[in-house]
Structure 1
């Protein structure tokens, strides 16, 4: 056998190389896993499944189709990366059309009526999640998987922008229009740690304030900056009540 001709040092080097391959985390890219996360105990703001529940999702999100943090392996995947061209991501489609971008992602365009993107079935006949309903004065929390990008050595540029349309839009805002109404900037690394760094649940919260919202339907965008010209988005709808 070939291994019988190798020295102990060579065998040790091969074993160490195999172990490194098996244990080195693969860097993937994130998405909004839940856009209306509610903690069971507000004093224990853990993003783990055991400490809260999701009451609202991105458009056409197939709930329970995959375990948490595995929707990058779904078809279609959820991590839409905006095009680096034309001339920058700020001019790319704000919500994935399922065919554009550096990574095309799932179709998250506005449905007609907009509620048709929820509480139904996707094109693969999988149950889709509910849309988000909030009242003026509520707090809204969004959750996402770390995907190995929340470790201390990761650059601090990584952050999440949450933007909204004007009330009752007839179509999705452009990316430039979203940029004109950024409601929150969240720390991407605000995670519940433990176990695989790929699967850390992370999130952030912000108020549905009367300064920013009036009753009506809004289109929201979760937008994550990984690098200077590398942006990922998830789009969702929120019904704001008095």
Structure 2
């Protein structure tokens, strides 16, 4: 009996430790509100139309539960190399494979989620689970949305992503769930740069929990230029939102 009690207690402590240490990721990279006049991040508030690379949409795991899924969706970069998109090998916490695939379409469809699509200049919204980090006593460090404006043949390094920041989002923009700060849904919106040519671009969601502690998600976005025609590249697009304080220009 004592042995059984000890095993149960150890398992309970391990579960609590997992919940405390869990970290976030981009759950949906094209979240569309059912009613744009009443935006929200709960399942009843909208529908997901696009996902990060190799996102397991048929896993059967509840929202916010993919940190215990194998492979886990949360990826913590190692500050010695800051590999921008998880390769399931590197990182302080290796995540699922989110590196560029050849062809790009290999990361989408079937058991994986759909690739996101947008028109240049369109507003897009991203959703993520709070993972116990949207509580009042937690730091509210930003989520960066990084998107190089060139059609690339390979993923850039982290410096390339960081120099292509198009928005900073409020991590704690959430629909709080009483008694469940782990699975509370959060999100933010940004504008796809209006001057992009038609093609497939890469985007990085990057969140800083603590100093030099970053978590990322990567995805590809099929962009159609305005009027369906190629356009001339220009300056960065502005960060906007359906919420007054959701994002700020970088």
TM-score norm. by structure 2 comes to: 0.80
Find the partner of 1:187 among 170, 193, 196.
Answer: 170
Contact persistence 1:189–1:202 (CA under 8 A): yes
- Per-residue displacement from partner, 1:55-79 (whole Å, max 9, x unpaired)? 0000000003111000000000000
**What is the Cα deviation at residue 164 of structure 1?**
1.1
CA distance in 1, matches of 2:182, 2:58: 18
Q: Which residue of 1 aligns with 2:71?
A: 76
**What is the Cα deviation at residue 23 of structure 1?**
8.4
Q: Which residue of 1 aligns with 2:234?
A: none
Q: Which residue of 2 aligns with 1:167?
A: 150
Q: Which residue of 1 aligns with 2:7?
A: none
Contact persistence 2:31–2:49 (CA under 8 A): yes
5+ residue gaps, structure 1: 3-20, 86-90, 121-126
- Per-residue displacement from partner, 1:50-109 (whole Å, max 9, x unpaired)? 110000000000003111000000000000100032xxxxx4211111100000001111
Output aligned runs, 1:97-176, within 5 Å: 97-120=87-110, 127-156=111-140, 158-176=141-159
Root mean square deviation, CA, Å: 2.3
CA distance in 1, matches of 2:188, 2:84: 21
Kindly name which structure, 1 or 2, has the bigger radius of gyration based on alpha carbons.
1
Does 2:53 match 1:59? Answer: yes
CA distance in 2, matches of 1:23, 1:182: 35
Output aligned runs, 1:196-211, within 5 Å: 196-211=180-195
Output aligned runs, 1:11-30, within 5 Å: 26-30=20-24
Contact persistence 1:167–1:216 (CA under 8 A): no
Contact persistence 2:149–2:201 (CA under 8 A): yes
CA distance in 1, matches of 2:93, 2:219: 19
Q: Which residue of 2 aligns with 1:41?
A: 35
TM-score norm. by structure 1 comes to: 0.83
CA distance in 1, matches of 2:216, 2:188: 15
Contact persistence 1:27–1:149 (CA under 8 A): no
